[in-house]
Structure 1
Amino acid sequence: MDILDYAFMQRALLAAVLVGVTAPAIGVYLVQRRQALMGDGIGHVAMTGVGLGFLLSTSPVWMATVVSIAGAVAMELIRWYGRTRGDIALAMLFYGGMAGGVMLVNLAPGGSTANLGSYLFGSLSTVSAADLRAICVLAALVALVTVGLRRQLFAVSQDEEFARVTGLPVRALNLLIAVTAAVTVSVAMRVVGLLLVSALMVVPVAAAQQLARSFAATFALAVAIGVSVALGGTVTSYYQDVPPGATIVLLAIAAFVALTAAAAPLARRRAGAAARAAGDPAECTVPEPRPDPATGELPDGMRESATG
């Protein structure tokens, strides 16, 4: 395959696999917590980290990671203590992060907002060897947390009060989910882009939920869908010269639509089987005794119950 003859495509494909694994792996917990848009907010904050990377002439990936983690912690603190004004504080954090990133890039030596394109929407040719090393390290951390602590993270995502009663450190686990989501944004931004990374966290999980009946099955199927669409979008981007991030997200949405259509008849069959298992009340009633057509009398043993 000629696509593998180019070093930049080898790096892009490997990065796509890592993104396809990590984004749904943390996304399954965000969806369970009804925080599907958290990745989008962290992506806005990460823009400031990218801008700092340009301004300080350091790796934008690592700077975005540091700033994203700080932003994720701030989001959790606002969620705990923000009360009625929490939504306003979050809005200022998100928009301030985006505006700060644009401003810092313009202040950087030789900086231009055009440099942000590959970080906002993803780019195949700009995934450098240094970026790939950073992505590998960060992806390993995400996998370690999402798989190694899956029982604890699921418990706190499902019911915080129950998790607290069982003795789990709920606030620490909430912070860990937020920080892991921030790291995932940094992993994915070179392939999918900061503005689209949230879709890859959420859509494969939503698609997997159409068929899977348990958390473990949802997790595995979501990761499989994430890897498939990430690789498919990357390959399509190479051959058709289209943006990789947009292609990956559109493929994920197409997978969601296809699985939803496939799951509809399956859901109907399950509902029918459940109704049959429950039994029809009419079938559980004792039939009325009928007289013998020849004599007009009730069968033996039923005369007393019919008359008495």
Structure 2
Amino acid sequence: MIEMLDLEFMQRALVAATFTGLAAPAIGTFLVQRRLALLGDGLGHVALTGVALGLLTGIAPLLTAVLVAAAGAVVIELMRTYGRTTGDVALAMLFYGGIAGGVLLTNLADESAASLNSYLFGSLITVSTADLWLVGALGLLVIALAVGLSPQLFAVCQDEEHARVSGVPVQAYSILIAVLAAVTITVAMRTVGLLLVSALMVVPVATAQQLTRSFRATHLAAMVVGLLAALGGVVTSYEINAQPGPTIVVLALAAFGVATLAGAVARRRRTVTT
């Protein structure tokens, strides 16, 4: 364990995992509240196109992924609000268009599909110092906005019509949630991977819901679960020589299983005592 911490790439991976573990559930809580849990998957596929665009143009893939995913988030929110396309159809378009665009641009860049592997499932050794600075800045931004604007975002997620009548700029906050989700996906790209990041946005929230009663408690507990899963997954993946993304998700799912059992036992005890 101590020897692992002496490795620079592991130090960078653990710092990146810290931002990922906190940011993903921080914004994922609002996606779950809005019943848009699969939005992260759709935006992950769009971010894949951004990565491929970076490989094609020679620009840092992390930066192009942020820009393309954010643009996709705005488009999907506008389609959901003003278009005649339903939410599930719009998400399906994100899935298919993102994959197709990513593979096509990768081929045009004379890169093999294998070159996308570290972006799809995460990699411990690919987190550079430059990536870490960008991940840290974006992660802090997501966490600060998700926590600082929690009352307003919750109002929009809970009841859009009531929030609109109350004077809350629903459209602006809805777009903000989608954009923050897109930014979070690119933050988690190096550790969890684009195909699995949605799990870290949803599973810790579902885990926290088994043990908490209020939205605020769920929000904070989900961030704690996400942080522990991310850090534990990075350490475990190093020890067993596996990719971090699947390891992180498996640990998060294990935590959900334990929380479900604990929650069931606690509810049964309350029922018996009453």
Give the deviation of 1:193 after TM superposition. 0.4
> Which residue does the alignment assign to 1:301?
none
1:239 partnered with 2:239:
yes
Amino acid at match of 2:142: V
1:107-129 Cα distance to aligned partner (Å, 9 max, x none): 22x52211100000000011111
Match runs of 1:56-95 below 5 Å: 56-84=57-85, 87-95=88-96
Q: Which amino acid is the alignment partner of residue 260 of structure 2?
A: T
Aligned-partner residue type, residue 112 of structure 1: S
Q: How far off its partner does 1:229 sit?
A: 0.7
CA-to-partner distance for each residue in 1:183-215, whole Å, 9 max, x for gaps? 000000110000000000000000000001111
- Give per-residue Cα distances to partners, 1:48-89, cap 9 Å, x unaligned: 100111011111011000000010011101111233555444
Query: Percent identical across equivalent pairs?
Result: 62
Whole-Å separation in 2 of the counterparts to 1:84 and 1:176: 20
Which range is displaced more, 99-108 or 206-215?
Answer: 99-108
What TM-score, normalized to structure 1?
Answer: 0.86
User: CA separation in 1, counterparts of 2:214 and 2:271?
Assistant: 17
Q: Give the alignment of 1:268-287 within 5 angstroms.
A: 268-273=268-273, 276=274
Q: Equivalents in 2 of 1:85, 1:194: separation in Å?
A: 24
How far off its partner does 1:93 sit?
A: 3.0
In 1, Cα distance between the equivalents of 2:9 and 2:122?
14
The residue aligned with 2:147 is: 147
3-state secondary structure, aligned to 1:83:
coil
C-alpha distance 112-261 of structure 1, shift in aligned 2 (>3 A): same
Instruction: Report the equivalent of 1:54.
Output: 55
Q: Which has the higher contact order (CA 8 A, sep 6+)?
A: 2
Q: Any idea what the Cα deviations from partners look like across 1:265-298, whole Å, max 9, x if unmatched?
A: 211223345xx4xxxxxxxxxxxxxxxxxxxxxx
Aligned to 1:211: 211
Moved over 4 A (4+): none
The DSSP-based 3-state class of the residue aligned with 1:111 is: coil
Classify 1:67/1:163 alpha carbon distance in 2 versus 1 (closer, same or farther; 3 Å). Answer: same
- Bigger radius of gyration among the two: 1
Contact 1:78–1:90 (CA under 8 A) maintained in structure 2: no
1:40 has 2:24 as partner: no
Spell out, residue by residue over 1:150-180, the C-alpha distance to the aligned partner (whole angstroms, 9 max, x if none): 1100111111111111110001000000000
**C-alpha contact 1:65 1:182 (8 A) present in aligned 2:** yes
Shift of 1:33: 0.5
Residues 227/193 of structure 1: CA separation in 2 closer, same or farther (3 Å cut): same
Q: Equivalent residue for 1:30? A: 31
Letter in 1 for 2:262: A
In 2, distance between residues paired with 1:69 and 1:134? 15
CA distance in 1, matches of 2:154, 2:70: 21
Question: For the Cα contact (< 8 Å) 2:43–2:94, is it kept in 1?
Answer: no
CA apart distance, 1:92: 2.6
In 1: Cα distance, 2:82 partner to 2:116 partner: 34
Aligned to 1:100: 101
CA contact (8 A) 1:28 1:219 kept: yes
Distance 1:121 1:189 in 2: 8
* Aligned-pair Cα RMSD in Å: 1.2
Matches within 5 A, 1:245-284: 245-273=245-273, 276=274
Aligned residue type for 1:133: W
TM-score, L = length of structure 2: 0.96
State how far apart, in whole Å, the 2-side matches of 1:176 and 1:242 are.
Answer: 35
**Alignment match, 1:161:** 161
Structure 2 unaligned spans of 5+ = none
Counterpart amino acid of residue 153 in structure 2:
L
